[in-house]
């Protein structure tokens, strides 16, 4: 039997006081009332750690990087001890055959009771040969483990949507978890972002442990508590947006005054994520606070929406790449031109006809 979280934490020298502090923090992050803190504490004291198999497909490891940097000084330890990361290529001690053996062991011991966390995604072209793990295509490993898990967490935009490796023209046919053909039908929680915010990642796991169920998901499979509002809805620069005060160029007065970044391409109005509330690096800051527009990293296909510094999206098709305005103005000009010519011909015709009548 796995140890409980609490046991692990105590073993790591964490005081009970810090432990309780973490519990109230977690309750806060989850948007729960402080009354839930004891419930979280109790869960951690009594429930065995959830075994997690953390698989890596095509990815850059930014999700892992984010995860191990969870803000609260305690969180790092808590998180690493909270779930028993039985297998995680990047941070586990085992290597080679030994490491691969852990997967089989976990499957045998906890069949149907462990969580599969997927970072990155599976390339499907050439039978998955673009991502080989232990001599086998990653997609096979993914299908095999998914068969036996309880639920799947798709970490980051790669596993959730596809991200950069799936950007046009997606040379390896990189495919997000929920679209992998032949994957066992298991609940999938998408935690998009490039990377997702560490507090969001740890809170999702804490929730699953405490309440022994999946967090409530929106109809695209994202936890509602972190992905139901846009960056724009809670952005501290929003008063400048409403006032009509924009940064026009990165070196202008507006930029120095911290005006809204809409005109330099901010995707905050179309991006669902918790950056403007939870922020990054322990609530220190987030991109917009640092003066950079949101690039929409938690949205599907954000690489393929034209320039990061342009407000209007490129529309691709018919071999052209242009914004809605460029296409629309051309269409209107063609229609307008046709109308003008038609009117001209009509007038000429009418005059000549009148001549005939007379």
Partner 1 sequence: MSVVEKHKEEAVYVYQAPIRIWHWIQAFAIFTLAVTGYLIASPLPSVGGEAYDHYIMGYIRWYHFVAAYMVIIGFVFRIYWAFVGNSHARQIFLPPVWRPSWWGEVWHEVKWYLMLISEPKKYTGHNPLAVLTMHVLYVWGTVFMIFTGLALYGEGTGPGSWQHSYFSTWIIPLFGQSQDVHTWHHLGMWVIICFVIIHIYVAVREDIMSRQSIISSMISGWRMFKDDRPPDDLH
Per CB under 6 A, residues contacting ligand SF4 are 193, 231-232, 235, 237-238, 241, 260-262, 266, 268-269, 271, 273, 275, 286-288, 294-298
Which of the 8 DSSP states describes residue 233? G
Pairing relation of β-strands 314-317 and 188-191?
A: unpaired
Nearer to ligand HEM, 100 or 310 (CB): 310
Q: What's the min distance (Å) between Cβ of 312 and ligand HEM?
A: 6
Does residue 306 interact with ligand HEM by CB under 6 A?
no
Residue found under tokens 């502090």: 21
Q: Which long-range contacts (CB under 8 A, 24 or more apart) does 133-141 make?
A: 133/56, 133/89, 134/96, 134/97, 134/99, 134/100, 138/55, 138/56, 138/57, 138/58, 139/57, 139/180, 141/55, 141/103
Q: What's the min distance (Å) between Cβ of 238 and ligand SF4?
A: 4
φ and ψ of 271, to 5 deg: -120, 125
Q: Look at residue 295 and give the partner it binds from partner 1, ligand SF4, ligand HEM, none, a contact being a CB closer than 5 to 8 Å depending on partner kind.
A: ligand SF4
Q: Look at residue 173 and give the partner it binds from ligand HEM, partner 1, ligand SF4, none, a contact being a CB closer than 5 to 8 Å depending on partner kind.
A: none
Q: Look at residue 33 and give the partner it binds from ligand HEM, ligand SF4, partner 1, none, a contact being a CB closer than 5 to 8 Å depending on partner kind.
A: none
Q: Is the peptide bond before 169 cis (omega within 30 degrees of 0)?
A: yes
**Nearest 5°: CA angle at 2, between 197 and 69?**
20
Q: Look at residue 349 and give the partner it binds from ligand SF4, partner 1, ligand HEM, none, a contact being a CB closer than 5 to 8 Å depending on partner kind.
A: partner 1
- Integer Cα distance of 202 and 79 in angstroms: 7
Q: Which stretch binds partner 1 (CB under 8 A): 78-86, 102-110, 247-255, 287-295?
A: 247-255
Q: What's the min distance (Å) between Cβ of 325 and ligand HEM?
A: 8
Q: How many CA atoms lie within 13 A of 323 on its CB side?
A: 8
Q: How many other C-beta atoms lie within 10 A of the C-beta of residue 317?
A: 9
Write out the residues near partner 1 by the rule CB under 8 A: 218-220, 224, 228-230, 233, 239-248, 253-254, 259, 262-263, 267, 269-272, 296, 299-302, 305, 311-313, 315, 324-325, 327-329, 331-332, 335-336, 339, 342-343, 345-346, 349-350, 353
């Amino acid at each position: 039997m796995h140890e409980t979280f609490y046991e692990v934490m105590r073993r790591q020298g964490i005081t009970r006081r810090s432990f309780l502090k973490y519990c109230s923090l977690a309750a806060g992050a989850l948007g729960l009332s402080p009354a839930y803190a004891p419930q979280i504490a109790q869960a951690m004291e009594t429930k065995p750690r959830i075994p997690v198999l953390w698989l890596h497909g095509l990815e850059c490891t930014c999700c892992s990087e984010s995860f191990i940097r969870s803000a609260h000084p305690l969180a790092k330890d808590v998180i690493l001890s909270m779930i028993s990361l039985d297998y995680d290529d990047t941070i586990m001690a085992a290597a080679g055959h030994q490491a691969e053996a852990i997967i089989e062991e976990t499957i045998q011991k906890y069949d149907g009771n462990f969580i599969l966390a997927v970072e990155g995604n599976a390339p499907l072209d050439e039978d998955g040969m673009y991502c080989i793990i232990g001599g086998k295509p990653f997609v096979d490993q993914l299908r095999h483990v998914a068969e036996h898990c309880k639920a799947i967490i798709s970490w980051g935009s790669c596993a959730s949507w596809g991200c950069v490796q799936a950007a046009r023209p997606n040379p390896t046919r990189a495919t997000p978890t929920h679209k992998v053909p032949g994957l066992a039908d298991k609940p999938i929680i998408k935690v998009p972002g490039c990377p997702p915010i560490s507090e969001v990642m740890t809170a999702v796991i804490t929730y699953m442990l405490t309440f022994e169920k999946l967090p409530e998901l929106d109809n695209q499979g994202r936890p509602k508590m972190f992905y139901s509002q846009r960056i724009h809805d809670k952005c501290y620069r929003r008063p400048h947006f409403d006032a009509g005060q924009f940064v026009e160029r990165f070196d202008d007065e507006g930029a120095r005054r911290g005006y809204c970044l809409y005109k330099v391409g901010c995707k905050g109005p179309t991006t669902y994520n918790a950056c403007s509330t939870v922020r990054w690096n322990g609530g220190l800051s987030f991109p917009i606070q640092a003066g950079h527009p949101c690039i929409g990293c938690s949205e599907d296909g954000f690489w393929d929406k034209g320039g990061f510094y342009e407000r209007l999206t490129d529309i691709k098709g018919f071999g052209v790449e242009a914004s809605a305005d460029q296409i629309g103005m051309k269409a209107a000009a063609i229609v307008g031109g046709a109308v003008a010519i038609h009117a001209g011909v009509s007038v000429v015709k009418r005059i000549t006809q009148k001549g005939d009548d007379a």
